[in-house]
Amino acid sequence: MRINLVSKRSIIAISAITILLFSCYLLPSVLKNLWESAHSDVQNVTVSGYVYDKDKKAMSDYTLYITNYYYEGGDYDGFGGSKVHQVVSDENGYYELKLDKSAFIQIDSVKEGYTKSLKDKYIYDQSVKIDFYIK
């Protein structure tokens, strides 16, 4: 019985020390890295994916409007610029867009007879895959 009480106290003490160390030393570093990665441009980004209809069949010749937002060395409180790109899916429903730099993208899907679709994503990697299922 004494062993269990000592074990429980040890576990509580170790847990408290771990939380204290994480809060004081690791958490500020983690938060700083997250802030910096969320407020910087990623260079040489490729946005790609497939466009499918409601039956999951590839939709060829489907136009997507991709708005690319970037900081461009600004104060990082807001985006420094943006540009809209028009991309059309190929016969397999595949689309691809290469960007010099990006921090955030918004993709609009508009076609007569289909429901408007909108997707957005912060950019953290050079390769971004986003598939669309159009209804």
| Average pLDDT over every residue of 86-103 | 95
CA angle 101, 85, 135 (to 5 degrees): 120
**Torsion sign (Cα): 34, 37, 39, 45:** negative
Residue 8 has pLDDT above 60, yes or no: yes
Residue 3 has pLDDT above 70, yes or no: no
Instruction: Give the CB-side neighbour count of residue 99, counting CA atoms within 13 A.
Output: 29
> Which residue bears the tokens 């955030």?
104
Q: pLDDT tens across 12-53, in order?
A: 777 777 776 556 665 565 555 555 555 678 899 999 999 998
CA distances from 79 to 27, 31, 70, 76, 97 (A): 27, 21, 5, 7, 20
- Answer whether 99's CB lies under 8 Å from 45's CB: yes
- Answer whether 79's CB lies under 8 Å from 70's CB: yes
Question: Kind and range of the H or E element at 17?
Answer: helix 2-21
Residues 6+ apart with CB under 8 A from 119: 106, 107, 130, 132
What is residue 73's three-state secondary structure? coil
